Amino acid sequence: MDESDLPRPRGDAASQLASEDLGPYSQAELAARIAQLEAEIARVKAHRDKAAAHRAAADALFGGPKAGAG
């Protein structure tokens, strides 16, 4: 099994953010936090799409799994 297939540890950054108390934050701080999180979501989606395209190209070149299999 590839290490990238393993589940992320519970203490990863997203888990820590999700459990953080938002009560102390001001409206402006919350707006800034939302903007940062939206930028991070866009970055992660772009990386995911790039990885998917890379995988599809490798599968096409080397005859990897067909769509819908697995």
Q: What is the pLDDT of residues 10-63, one digit of tens each?
A: 678 888 899 999 999 999 999 999 999 999 999 999 999 999 999 999 999 998
Q: Domain ranges for the chain, please list them.
A: 27-64
* Number of Cα atoms under 13 Å in the Cβ half of residue 60: 6
Q: Is a pLDDT exceeding 90 seen at residue 6?
A: no
Is pTM, for the whole model, over 0.75?
Answer: no
CA 11 → CA 6, 17, 31, 44, distances in Å? 14, 10, 25, 19
Contact present, 22 and 30 (Cβ < 8 Å) = yes
| Chain CA centroid to CA 25, Å | 25
Contact present, 58 and 64 (Cβ < 8 Å) = yes
Q: Classify 41 as helix, strand or coil.
A: helix
